[in-house]
Structure 1
């Protein structure tokens, strides 16, 4: 495995079984075991300070920008991708072309276990994604979403946070 373009902040913890390449990782980020986290030379994958990436997670930022904000919690076995499609079959791509696009996860969001986030998705700040959801469109800040495909389950009210 070739590794390059790895920029780490202070107090970053990455389990030895995890692979990272073409990344910019902020201070105090923790990455659990058996993750695959990569961008490309043109698209450094960014993880903001204080975030946590759970075991078995795949963060694929190769084709486009993948940005995870500060203090984001990503549970185990999450798949966030900036490209999707039948890349091994040019013939099948005539029917199902490869989709490429950026993904942005806002600060203080929580992504539940086994979630899949497709290309061209932006989640605002304080978003919660229920476990086992498929997210194929964007949602505004303070959204609690879930399902296949994901839909809004409720909105978090700012005044509720203070109680």
Structure 2
């Protein structure tokens, strides 16, 4: 495993089974077992302070920027991707072109288990994503979303 471009804040805990590369991680972040979290030299993945990332999660910021805010809770087996498509087949790409785009997860979001977040998605602050959801569009602050594809279930009121 190649590791480079890693900046860690204070009191960051990354399990030894997890792979990270081309990331900036702020203070007091905890990353559980068997995760793969990476950006690229031109797209450094950013994780804000006090964030937790659960086991078996994949955060792919290779093709475009991925920014995860402060105090974000990400459950196990979550897949956040900045690109998607049949990258091994230029013939298949004629039918299903590669999709690339920035992903932003706002402060205080809670992402449930087994969620997939596609490219070009912004979840504004205080969004909640129900377990097993497929998120392919953006949502405003205080949204509770779920389903395949994810839809607004309700808005949290202060």
Counterpart position of 1:108: 108
Give every structure 1 segment of 4 or more consecutive aligned residues whose post-TM-superposition deviation is greater than 3 Å.
none
Alignment map for 1:1-163 (pairs within 5 Å): 1-158=1-158
Q: Could you say what secondary structure the match of 2:43 adopts?
A: coil
TM-score w.r.t. the length of structure 2 is 1.00
Mark the runs of 5 or more structure 1 residues left unpaired by the alignment: 159-163
- Give the deviation of 1:40 after TM superposition: 0.3
RMSD: 0.3
With normalisation by structure 1, the TM-score equals 0.97
Q: Unaligned regions of 5+ residues in structure 2, if any?
A: none
Hey, what's the Cα distance between the residues in 2 that align with 1:64 and 1:87?
A: 15
Q: CA deviation at 1:137?
A: 0.3
